[in-house]
Amino acid sequence: MHLIELIANNTLTALDLETSGLDRKKDRIIEIGAVKICGWEKSEDGAPKKVKLGETFSTFVSFPGTLPEEISQLTGITEQDLEHAPKIKAALKKLKKFIGDDLLVGHYCEFNDAFLYTWGQKCRVLFDNRRLDTFTIARSVYRDKVKNFSLSALAKLHGIEYSPQRTVDYARITANLLAELALRDDFSHCDT
């Protein structure tokens, strides 16, 4: 299916997580952000111009113990931010209710998927949604033309404002990147 049609005919949810480290088994999700992608805004000639962004979901997740200082410096998240946040099970249930059966969009989904799967299993919240990975799509589009496929580098390449503060901001950037990749003439087909 053409990526433009996929966006036009489905509700998608762009998602990003912050975690207390890189190990899905011992580290925890500490922040979740998501934004609905609700089709296209059209130009005067009726062609897709940019994605319509809808509702957002944003929550910190409580963290038992002391948050590592390097994680706090990297993410800007403090122990005070997490102090009164919902526990992981409650946060994941709210997230699942928000996304429903939507197609999930992420940048380098493998990382988010590992944490969602592991913690979803522990909390008995199933995340079996289909996924689109802007990292993988960008690699297909640009092949050898681009060396850096980070979200910040791709946002800059496409003129997308990049000043994220929270995970919901990263989700918005990912949604806009998906639109830019879809609008490229040399990329017309995707499998989910």
**Per-residue pLDDT tens digits for 146-178:** 999 999 999 999 999 999 999 999 999 999 999
> Domain for residue 133, yes or no?
yes
Tell me if 192 is assigned to some domain.
Answer: no
- In a domain, residue 120? The reply is yes
Residue 158, amino acid: H
Whole-prediction pTM: 0.93
Mean pLDDT of 33-42: 96
In whole angstroms, give the CA distance from residue 12 to residue 70: 33
C-beta neighbour count of 102 within 10 angstroms:
18
For residue 189, tell me if it sits in a domain. Answer: no
Residue type (1 letter), 5: E
Report yes or no on 191 lying in a domain.
Answer: no
| Mean pLDDT in residue range 53-68 | 96
- Rounded percentage of the chain residues whose pLDDT exceeds 90: 91
Average pLDDT over residues 99-116: 96
CATH number at residue 40: 3.30.420.10
> Is residue 190 included in any domain, yes or no?
no
At 186 the pLDDT is 54
Per the structure, how many domains does the chain have? 1
Asked, for residue 34, whether it belongs to a domain, the answer is: yes
- Residue 108 lies in domain: 3-182
Task: Tell whether the model's pLDDT for residue 108 goes beyond 90.
Answer: yes
Tokens of 81: 């931010």
What's the DSSP call for residue 64? S
Q: Flag whether 7 is in a domain.
A: yes
DSSP 8-state assignment for residue 158 = T
Q: Which residue has the higher pLDDT, 1 or 139?
A: 139
Radius of gyration of the chain (CA): 17
Residue with tokens 């994680």: 71
